[in-house]
Amino acid sequence: LLSHCYCKKFIMGTSRLKSRGRISVTSTVTQHKNNKQESTLEAEITRRRNQACRSLLIQVYSSRSYNDLHNYCLQFGNVLSMHHYHINNQQNYILVEFKDTVSINQVMSSASFANGYITPVKSSVLWFRKGQSTTSQKNNQQKLPLFVENGCPLHTEAEKAKLLYNAKSISGQIIILYETMKLTDLEIRLRFHTAHHLEQYFSRLFQNIKVLPFGSSLNGFGRRRCDLDLVLVPDDTRKHDFMSRLVFHTKSMNNSDRNETKEFLGILANTMQHFIPGILNVRRILEARVPIIKFRYNYTFTECDLSATNMTAIYMTELLNFYGEMDWRVRPLVIAIRVWAKSQELTLDVPGQWITNFPLTLLVLFFLQQKKILPSLKTLKLYATSDDVRCAENGIDCTFLRDISKLPPDYKYKTNQDSLETLLYDFFEYYSTFDFQMYGICIREGVQIRKPSRSALHITNPLETTLNVCKNVSLYELNRIISKSHDAIYMLETTERFESNSWGIMTLLKMNNDNIVNLKKSNTTKEQTKNIEEYSEDNSYEISDKFEVSEVNIDETK
């Protein structure tokens, strides 16, 4: 439903704000203390968590409340950014990022509770009620610039079809698809803020815990509106004083005991259902291999899964993210395959005997290993440093290189320079002829292996090698993947640019031709398409910068 949302991004130049806060504050959290860690996902998680700690999600009447809210917030300290979004044109929210956590504490002590039957707990989601407008702190204040998300707001299917139709090549189409579907900065901020909101509640019960997003919200393979995977883990960064002679009496709990985890999650589910605002439709899936709580987070209209002490999933996210970082073609190709699989109903939103996005992603990564674009996990283990040593629950070794800057040069200058179009075609060709009966897929070794199980499809879990991540996939579903891959090859071979209202990847994705009637003449869209493609031709990995923000006058929101 977030597709019905219209996101606006307000970003204010920090320089203009510097002298505005009435209180002068000093930063309590130091970012990136350790420079050598900056290119790891761990460092990015620390940065995003820090950003979430300094942010408040504030429900407002409309985007017009922006000036009023901004002026009001300035009494608590410097504001770095404000992002507006709404759900179904009804609920309006502004995510306010303060410069310092001290400001958040000030807000917490000044905000009040609503009257009525409530469970009064303070958290970082608030309501900005109507009142006398707050005047700005200084009369000579410059008019604030309003930034809106420019290049890739949430596109409708018709808009996406326009962009794809006008692309110069299938490679261009894949880039466009990726750019229009990947998570935006605001979505990532909101995902970390949701984790922070839960953490605020749970930390009133337990010390030294943290809630982290993982999976496609974090590994760069996520699509807009994808589910949010969350995990509750011990926070090792907050070290106890080991020398203290006074030790708290606590209940002991065995994290690796599944029954204990199930009971623990059951208690959390009750707490969430009754005490945490914004959480709806709580479902307890406690019998699964990894017990989870499913719920809807109403402030962002996102479906969430919460698990506990599942560090392997975090390390898997780091691994997938690392592969995505290694070559600029990886993420666009994975997104294209994920979208193709969804359009062919090879993946569905409900669990069953079909493949899901995670193993599908492993199929793409394995294919890119065969193309010598990505190394095996064995190689990444070989290059691991002492900083990379990790051990998950049950003693699973999750050590592998995490800092991309430490890769030897020969991995940075690959000889394979195939275009995305070639890779897409070859992906279908590779798997339409793969001997699934005899062989399984092994990311760890980077080569096909003799199938160690009787499952129709065997993809070894890269970190827990005794597990097959596709145990659930039936032969029927595997044959559908093969057959749809054959179809895809045929479509790519026969497609002609501008031959009809649908060409190239559009035919694979079953894009509705009706949507693009009258679009051939659309100059604006052609211009946008050209911009995205030209940028991608520079072979730049970070395509997104181009589409960050543009400045418009604040009055345009009115």
Sign of dihedral through CA atoms 283, 277, 46, 301?
Answer: positive
For the CB of residue 20, give the shortest distance to ligand CTP in the complex, in Å.
40
CB of 13 to ligand CTP, least distance (A): 35
123 or 356: whose CB is closer to ligand CTP? 356
Which of the stretches 219-227, 296-304, 498-506, 530-538 binds ligand CTP when contact is defined by CB under 6 A?
A: 219-227
Q: Which is nearer to ligand CTP, 20 or 182 (CB)?
A: 182
Rounded distance between C-alpha atoms, residue 204 and residue 294, angstroms: 21
C-alpha count within 13 angstroms, C-beta hemisphere, residue 422: 7
Distance CA 280, CA 194 (A): 13
CB-wise, 40 or 302, nearer to Mg ion? 302
Q: Which of 229, 318, 388, 533 binds Mg ion (CB under 5 A)?
A: 229
Report yes or no: 71 and 135 within 8 Å, Cβ to Cβ: yes
Answer whether 213's CB lies under 8 Å from 228's CB.
Answer: yes
Q: In terms of CB distance, is 64 or 342 closer to ligand CTP?
A: 342
- Among 216, 344, 485, 515, which residue interacts with ligand CTP (rule: CB under 6 A)? 216
Task: Look at residues 170, 467, 177, 132 and name the one whose alpha carbon lies nearest to residue 343.
Answer: 177
Query: What mask of x and - would describe binding to ligand CTP in positions 254 to 293, judged by CB under 6 A?
Result: ----------------------------------------
List 21, 77, 172, 215, residue binding ligand CTP (CB under 6 A)? 215
Q: How far is the CB of 28 from ligand CTP (least distance, A)?
A: 32
CA distance 509 to 202: 42
* Nearest CB to Mg ion, comparing residues 232 and 401: 232
Q: Please give the Cα distance from 355 to 346 (Å, whole number).
A: 7
Q: Is 359 in the site for Mg ion (CB under 5 A)?
A: no
Question: Distance (Å, rounded) from C-alpha 276 to C-alpha 224?
Answer: 25
Do 488 and 499 form a contact (C-beta atoms < 8 A)? no
Question: Is beta strand 279-285 parallel, antiparallel or unpaired with respect to 145-149?
Answer: unpaired
Q: Is 187 in the site for Mg ion (CB under 5 A)?
A: no
Residue 313 interacts with, from ligand CTP, Mg ion, none (CB under 5-8 Å by kind): ligand CTP
Report the distance separating Cα 343 and Cα 510, nearest Å: 7
* Range 337-376, binding ligand CTP (CB under 6 A): 356-358
Of positions 38, 42, 227, 263, contacts ligand CTP by CB under 6 A = 227
* Contact region with ligand CTP (CB under 6 A), list: 7-15, 17-25, 220-228, 477-485: 220-228
Q: Which of 402, 332, 398 minimizes the C-alpha distance to 361? A: 332
Backbone angles phi, psi at 265, to 5 degrees: -65, -35
Helical packing angle, 420-432 and 357-370, nearest 10°: 100
CB closer to Mg ion out of 229 and 533: 229
172 binds Mg ion (CB under 5 A): no
Q: Closer CB to ligand CTP, residue 96 or residue 212?
A: 212
Among 100, 229, 325, 477, binds ligand CTP (CB under 6 A): 229
Stretch that binds Mg ion, among 145-153, 181-189, 224-232, 346-354 (CB under 5 A): 224-232
Q: Which residue in the block uniquely carries the two structure tokens 């943290």?
A: 210
Residue 357: contacted member of ligand CTP, Mg ion, none (CB under 5 to 8 Å, by partner type)? ligand CTP
What CA–CA distance (Å, rounded) separates 289 from 202? 23
Indicate whether 21 belongs to the interface with ligand CTP (CB under 6 A). no
In the complex, least distance from residue 314 CB atom to ligand CTP, rounded to whole angstroms: 8
* Nearer residue to Mg ion within complex by CB, 269 or 292: 292
Q: Which of 222, 446 has the CB closer to Mg ion? A: 222
Distance, in Å, from the CA atom of 285 to the CA atom of 198, rounded to the nearest integer, reads 19
What is the distance between the alpha carbons of residues 204 and 216, in angstroms, rounded to a whole number?
29
469 binds, among ligand CTP, Mg ion, none (CB under 5 to 8 A by kind): ligand CTP
What does the block give as tokens for 449?
């292996």
String marking each residue 301-340 x if it binds ligand CTP according to CB under 6 A = -----------xx--xx-----------------------
Closest CA to 305 of 385, 407, 191, 388: 191
How far is residue 186 from each of residues 96, 128, 384, 548, measured CA to CA in Å?
11, 20, 33, 11
The residue among 93 and 340 lying less far from ligand CTP, judged by its C-beta, is: 340
d(CA 132, CA 354): 56
What pairs with residue 137 in β-bridges?
none
Q: Restricting to residues 462-491, which ones interact with ligand CTP according to CB under 6 A?
A: 469
By CB under 6 A, name the binding residues for ligand CTP.
214-216, 219, 222, 226-227, 229, 312-313, 316-317, 356-358, 461, 469
- Contact positions toward Mg ion, by CB under 5 A? 215-216, 227, 229
